[in-house]
Structure 1
Amino acid sequence: MEKVRGVGGLFFKCKEPEKLATWYKENLGFELAAPFCAAFTPGNHKVGDQTIWGAFSADTTYFEPSKQDFMFNFIVDDVEAMLSQVEAAGAKRAGDIVKEEYGVFGWFLDPEGFKVELWHPIAEGIDK
């Protein structure tokens, strides 16, 4: 049986794709591969980084206050610093920073209202 090796992309609709891509470039450091998209290569991952595929119940409140049916999750080195950075660029913080055994999490709404989860993974024996 063939198996999926990873997530190959995240594609979504928005009102102003190039404007939103530029905002992410300027405020989250995305390296744009085209005016409307960025590419992340596995070679840039650090120990503990991983891509999660998660199916949530249709009645979950986890994506609130966004009205979207999905949420972005990005791996970062410093959740608090990134939240401060995007807030200064007009993003709205959504909730408090939470530390779990597997990582530190923080959330914000981007200029188009998509909820973004920032995650600093904590690998076994690292960052503890």
Structure 2
Amino acid sequence: MAKALGVGGIFFKSKDPQALMTWYQTHLGLPTDAPDHAAFFPAIMPAGGCTVFSPFKRTTGYFAPSRREFMFNLVVDDLEGALQQVADGGATIVGDIQSFDYGRFGWFLDPDGNKVELWQPAVPPAS
């Protein structure tokens, strides 16, 4: 049986795709190899990080206050620093940082109103 091996992309509409891409490159350090997209390769994923594929019920409030039918998650190496950078860039911080065994999370609305979840994975114990 063929198997999915990971998420190959996150694609969404924007009123000004170039401006939004530049905003993410400026405020979250997305790779700048191409002007219209960022490519992340597994080697840069921190220990404990992964890509999650998870459908939510249509009635979920998890994406609020965004009115979009999607939310995306970006893995970061410094949650507080990343949240400060996006806030300095004009993003709206949503809620408080939450901590779990598998990491810490924070959220913001980008300039287009998309809700973005930032995840700093917990460092796995040394073997």
Quick one: percent identity of the two aligned structures? 50
- 1:25 and 2:32 correspond: no
Q: Deviations over 1:37-75 (max 9, x none)?
A: 110011112211100001100000000000110101011
Does the aligned pair in 1 maintain the 2:48–2:102 contact within 8 Å? no
- How far has the Cα of 1:33 moved from its partner? 3.8
Does the aligned pair in 2 maintain the 1:106–1:118 contact within 8 Å? yes
Aligned CA RMSD, in angstroms, stands at 1.1
Q: How far, CA to CA, are the matches of 1:48 and 1:107 in structure 2?
A: 20
Name the TM-score, length of structure 2 as normaliser: 0.95
Q: How far, CA to CA, are the matches of 1:119 and 1:43 in structure 2?
A: 17
> Counterpart of 2:81 in structure 1: which amino acid?
A
Q: Deviations over 1:72-103 (max 9, x none)?
A: 10111111111111101100000000011111
Query: What is the match of residue 99 of structure 1?
Result: 99
Q: How far, CA to CA, are the matches of 1:45 and 1:79 in structure 2?
A: 15
Query: What is the match of residue 47 of structure 2?
Result: 47
Structure 2 alignment gaps of length 5 or more: none
Structure 1 alignment gaps of length 5 or more: none
Q: How many residues end up aligned between the 2 structures?
A: 126
Mapping 1:7-18, distance limit 5 Å: 7-18=7-18
Secondary structure (helix, strand or coil) at the match of 2:58 reads: coil
